[in-house]
Amino acid sequence: MSPGLRRPSFSDSDSDRLSDCSSTSSCDEEEVNCRMSPNWCAYRHVIERRGFRLDTHRDVKQWYQHYWESLIAQGYTVTRDSPGYARACSGNDDELCKDAGLPENLFRGTRCRDGTKVVIKAVHIRSREYDVVRYLSSPALRNDPRNHLIPIQDFVEVPRENIVFIVMEEWSSQLIPETPCTLRLFLGALRQCIEHAVFMHMHHVAHLDISIRNLLTDYRHQYAYIDFELARRFDGVHHPRIHGCRGTEVAPELEQGGVSDPYKADVWALGKLIKRACSLTGYHVAELSGLLGAMLNPNFEQRPTAAMVLKSFDTIMAYIEESRLQMCSPLGP
């Protein structure tokens, strides 16, 4: 862990909702898909009955204390003047302590039986996000090794209030937690990103907000997608088209007010993710340039499918020499 104080991130994208992505859009659809701001105190005991605790002031103080102790053990000098710690010290130990860095629909917590850290997200029970996440977490899909959805611990439904709490494992937004990192590990991370897009598209799901901000790791070389607020299922639709979608990485045809194939919009965003990841890590893999050019083609009909991208990516990896795969990032220590 680096000396800079940063709790694992699980923040949403800048986009609040998907607009005009279907001709069936309505005020009711917008209402059920908009971001929720629940009164977390009112649902505290409902969540506890399912075996999870929302973070209290005591929990947050303990987290900082353990974090500082780990830094001291590594030889770092620490100062205990974090605003988050000061805020945790200002309240009653048993009161809930919301992470000020998270939006109102997210709350940190703990699984009671083993202390596993979780993040709990509140969504409307009829939202597209709940529909997609529940589908990808179904018994038939969740154990597929190609499925890189963030592990879901539980769905806590409160039907009378049209709300459901999605309980997810808390992973980190640090793309490459290890330093130094080899090219093999880096390309392995990218492959998981591509593979999950293939998996989603195979099951008629488009994420529609693929970005480096919506990719997390468990520090054990596993990567996962989060934030399905904009995601859509297209079961039974052979040639789906979308328009007006807003996300972190918006394909040019959508940016210009045109229509697009949702799966090809994902491919565009995936290409941008790969480019940004290469820039952040210092890995500039020349062999990827042709593939990225195809993924970022301004004509969506000429972009490859996610499955084609994965096949090309595997071919590229096979031709990279082992000695080069073991090289560390130029941005490493």
| Residues 152 and 231 reside in one and the same domain | no
Residue range of the domain that includes 280: 183-325
Last residue of a domain, one of 169, 192, 226: 169
Residue at token pair 């190609």: 146
139 plus 240 within the same structural domain: no
The answer as to whether 61 is a domain residue is no
Q: How many CA atoms lie within 13 A of 209 on its CB side?
A: 26
Backbone angles phi, psi at 328, to 5 degrees: -90, 160
252 with 144, same domain? no
301 domain-assigned: yes
Q: Report the distance separating Cα 133 and Cα 154, nearest Å.
A: 11
At which of 139, 169, 199 does a domain end?
169
Domain count, the chain: 2
CA distances from 324 to 84, 280, 319 (A): 42, 19, 11
Predicted confidence band at 332 (pLDDT cuts at 50, 70, 90)?
low
In a domain, 152, yes or no: yes
Same domain? 213 vs 306: yes
pLDDT digit string (tens) for 124-166? 999 999 999 999 999 999 999 999 999 999 999 999 999 999 9
Please report which confidence band the pLDDT of residue 176 belongs to, taking 50, 70 and 90 as the band edges: low
- The pTM of the whole model exceeds 0.85: yes
Distance CA 134, CA 151 (A): 11
Query: Which amino acid belongs to residue 322?
Result: E
Residues 242 and 124 in one domain: no
**Are 187 and 320 members of one domain?**
yes
Are 269 and 149 contained in the same domain? no
Q: Which of 8-12, 24-28, 281-285 has the lowest mean pLDDT?
A: 8-12
pLDDT tens digits along 190-229: 999 999 999 999 999 999 999 999 999 998 889 999 999 9
Quick one: 131 and 233 in the same domain?
no
